[in-house]
Structure 1
Amino acid sequence: MRNDVRDLPAGSNDGLYRFLGGSPAAVAFRLILLSILVGVVLSAIGFDPWNILHSIRMLFQRLWDLGFDAVNWAWRYFLLGAVIVIPVWFLSRLFGTPRGR
């Protein structure tokens, strides 16, 4: 028949590709880029790769020392993000695809 579906024999690398989510080189490249991005963010908040436990403890110590300034700091970042996120969410709901019955 013309539209029959046939099972093809699995290749030797199909299991590896499926497990990794793509070719090993592409996955390694994405992981390297993501690691660099996360490293920049962690470096910006003061983490040190050679002494990560000390860096985490110092982060919490600084937050504790800030007291209510930490709440103010978090509130300001929340407002800054909400200025973008809430209108985009609202517009996507307003002009999104209709949900019919």
Structure 2
Amino acid sequence: MPDDTRELPAANEGLYRFLGGSPLTVAFRLVLLSILVGVVLAAIGFDPWNILSSIRLLFQRIWDLGFDAINGLWRYFLLGAVIVIPLWLLSRLFSAPRGR
């Protein structure tokens, strides 16, 4: 069975070990990963030219969204409680055990 692995010179072996593979393969992976991460960051509103402002704006939006979610939950709670609490109270009153 022929051995397809080649012996690399010591300088190239160190470079391959440092990069985690051949330089061309590592560069290709880094380009693809950078594009993927860039798409995700653009989707959540990051701007590469003003990254600090984008991070601050992201945290502000998350903060606002959190309190909007609490406000929405509170409204749903009140809407449901208008029906659930009286029905629960009536069921407790009518199913109360009779005195002995």
TM-score computed with the length of structure 2 as normaliser? 0.57
> Higher helix fraction: Structure 1 or Structure 2?
2
Give a deviation string over 1:46-84, Cα, whole Å, max 9, x none.
0000000000000111111121528x9xxxxxxxxxxxx
**Where in structure 2 are there 5+ consecutive unaligned residues?**
1-6, 73-100
Indicate the structure (1 or 2) with the bigger Cα radius of gyration.
2
**Where in structure 1 are there 5+ consecutive unaligned residues?**
1-7, 73-101
Query: Number of aligned pairs?
Result: 64
Structure 1 CA distance, aligned partners of 2:15 and 2:36?
26
Letter of the 1:41 counterpart: V
Which residue of structure 2 lines up, in the alignment, with residue 49 of structure 1? 48
Deviation at 1:40, TM superposition (A): 0.2
Structure 2 CA distance, aligned partners of 1:65 and 1:26?
43
Alpha-carbon RMSD across the aligned residues, in angstroms, is 2.3
In the TM superposition, 1:60-71 aligns within 5 A as: 60-66=59-65, 67-69=67-69
Structure 2 CA distance, aligned partners of 1:9 and 1:22?
12
TM-score computed with the length of structure 1 as normaliser? 0.57
Structure 1 CA distance, aligned partners of 2:23 and 2:9?
18
Percent identical across equivalent pairs? 72
